[in-house]
Amino acid sequence: MQEILEKVDQLKKEIQDTSLSTSEELEKYRIRFLGTKGLVKELMSEMKNVSKEMKKDFGAKLNEFKIFAETKYEEYKGVSSTDKESANEAIDYSLPGFPSETGSRHPIQLVMNKMISIFEKIGFTVTEGPEIEDDWHNFNALNLPENHPARDMQDTFYISKNPDWLLRTHTSSVQVRVMKEGKLPLRQIFPGRVYRNETVSARAHCFFHQIEGLYIDEKVSFADLKQTLYYFVKEMFGADVKVRFRPSYFPFTEPSAEMDVSCFICASKGCTVCKHTGWVEILGCGMVHPNVLTNCGIDAEKYAGFAWGMGVERTAMMQYGITDIRVLSENDTRFLDQFKNVV
């Protein structure tokens, strides 16, 4: 009995000397003194061994100890929660939050969007066609004879033979689809992806993007073609960039030309982009061949038209100083993240 009372005094002293500054210390204290297997409970269980006469005094002493232990706990619990409150007060709610990560537009899409908006300003509308085409839309209707080298298995990805299904090699196939619908006059552009069976390298890829244009009406001339493309170049590359047309050959146009712009990377002084010529080829164009009009059900005596097809990759590479075409299709986020917030 005496022993227990001494132990109570000892524990009281221990409680007095205990400092409770962290929530872990507080919890440890709670378990040691006030928990279901704690010292207060343990001492209370001694009551049954105490004689009747002593019970009152003993009980009072233990009760006092219990209250003492609980008070200390409550006191410190209060302090630690006020600590939390004051810590909360230190948070500046006016600070901006963490922004959520957003994606970025792909450089090819950025350049295409710019090209499209330039043509839209002068009345061209956008139409898309299928990437999987048949032989007739991709070749025959465009006046490409059966033995034309562009039809060679080496250049074209065939999906099946007889019937021939292939991945379109150019967006010119969309010209055919639109002309076949028979609504004239026609003033449209056809952006999209095209495929060629080429060895992938820093300068060439087996798929890339083109924007095709088609204008058909009565009395359309080569002068209209030139003015349309001059306007485009000025809007796209700036007023200082020079333009030149070179005679060329495409089965679906007559006459045909290729258009170069003066290299704005080196100001025509000569660099790797222009292969030291000062000029960069950006598109093929020409007056729509009468055979093509006829193949698509258009009266070639009454109507004439011009068309062009331009690559997007080369322009994007020039615009952003990209030297390897492959980075445009690898989806490496270290590359793509550089275009964040570019619109």
The mark string for 195-234 relative to ligand DAH (x by CB under 6 A, - otherwise) is: -----------------x----------------------
How far apart CA 293 and CA 221 sit, in angstroms, is: 15
CB of 161 to ligand DAH, least distance (A): 22
170 binds ligand DAH (CB under 6 A): yes
Residue 293 sits in the site that holds ligand DAH (CB under 6 A): no
Neighbours of 284 (CB within 10 A): 22
**Any residues with CB less than 8 A from the CB of 202 and at least 6 apart, and which?**
323, 324, 325, 326
Q: Are strands 304-311 and 158-160 parallel, antiparallel or unpaired?
A: unpaired
Among 250, 280, 314, 328, binds ligand DAH (CB under 6 A): 250
Name which of 110 and 174 has its Cβ closer to ligand DAH.
Answer: 174
Q: Which range in 50-58, 199-207, 270-278, 280-288 contacts ligand DAH by CB under 6 A?
A: 280-288
Residue 231, CA distances (Å) to 56, 114, 337 in order: 107, 14, 32
CA dist., res. 78 & res. 76, Å (int): 5
Question: Is residue 12 within 8 Å of 4, Cβ to Cβ?
Answer: no
Phi (first) and psi of residue 332, to 5 degrees: -80, 120
Among 138, 188, 253, 295, binds ligand DAH (CB under 6 A): 253
Shortest reach from residue 286's CB to ligand DAH, in Å: 4
Judged by beta carbon, residue 87 or residue 153, the one nearer ligand DAH is 153
Chain residue whose CB lies nearest ligand DAH? 309
Single-letter code of the amino acid located at 249: Y
Q: For residue 159, which phi and psi values (nearest 5 degrees)?
A: -95, -40
Beta carbon nearer to ligand DAH, 62 or 189? 189
Q: Any contact of residue 309 with ligand DAH (CB under 6 A)?
A: yes
129 binds ligand DAH (CB under 6 A): no
Query: Contact residues for ligand DAH (CB under 6 A)?
Result: 170, 172, 212, 250, 253, 284-286, 307-309
